[in-house]
Chain A
Amino acid sequence: DGGITQSPKYLFRKEGQNVTLSCEQNLNHDAMYWYRQDPGQGLRLIYYSQIVNDFQKGDIAEGYSVSREKKESFPLTVTSAQKNPTAFYLCASSINGGREGNIQYFGAGTRLSVL
């Protein structure tokens, strides 16, 4: 089955703790993205990567970090510097460039809560 797998589905963070959200895709896409969604709101871009070993900050990168060591994987770390991390986190991927580069395929999401 081709697609994007996010894990875990639910995650709890203690104060001062860093947590890492996993995102894996087997669609052979070059580009990957991380979004945050708060209740009743749209998605906001945290980080994106258009090629392996390169990534760019999105609109709300503070308190988050990413790595892109493999084409298939784009993990997101929510650091202790992110003071309000409770949200629904969504990972997406797309081909890079052209008309279809604007079509993103999303995972099922990870819901992060603070204990």
Chain B
Amino acid sequence: LAKTTQPISMDSYEGQEVNITCSHNNIATNDYITWYQQFPSQGPRFIIQGYKTKVTNEVASLFIPADRKSSTLSLPRVSLSDTAVYYCLVGDWAAGNKLTFGGGTRVLVKP
């Protein structure tokens, strides 16, 4: 079961880019990297998923180096509404490697 390490918290300002790096040194060959966002008193919401290289969608980008031992979630031009907890998960349910939620990174966007 791959363990992930993320910063506990980060502060940013509106309009800036926020980059959250997640370390997963023992990632397995079949594992995917999946990021979720959670607002207080709500269920987590899927943001983005990748396996290698770079993935981009309308919300974020995910950068994964060749060794896959880390990944970086990039949130472009954040707004106050991006204040949330962001979780990095690594695993593959189909391979029996359950994804586990760690403590996440609390991102505070200031005006």
Spell out A's residues near B (CB within 8 Å).
Answer: 4, 31, 35, 41-45, 48, 50, 58-59, 88, 90, 92, 94, 96-99, 101-109, 111
Contacts and interface: CB of A to CB of B under 8 A. Distances in A.
Given A41-B103, A42-B87, A45-B98, A102 B41 contact: no
B45 A106 contact: yes
A105 B42 CA distance: 12
Nearest to B91: A102
Interface in B29-53: 32, 34, 41-46, 49, 51
B94 interface: yes
Given A99-B32, A101-B93, A42 B42 contact: no
A102 B43 contact: no
A102 B99 contact: yes
B25 interface: no
Interface centre among A43, A50, A59, A96 (most CB of B within 10 A): A43
Given A35-B101, A101-B94, A108 B42 contact: yes
B46 A104 contact: yes
B43 A92 contact: yes
B46 A42 contact: no
Interface of B: 32, 34, 41-46, 49, 51, 87, 89, 91-94, 98-104
A86 to B, nearest CB: 14
B45 A42 contact: no
A43 B101 contact: yes
Contacts of A58: 98
B38 to A, nearest CB: 9
Contact of A102 (B34, B42, B44, B45): B34
User: Which among A41, A58, A102 has the greatest number of chain B C-beta atoms within 10 A?
Assistant: A102
Given A43-B87, A105-B46, 10 more contacts: A35-B101, A45-B98, A45-B100, A48-B98, A58-B98, A88-B41, A90-B43, A98-B94, A106-B43, A106-B44
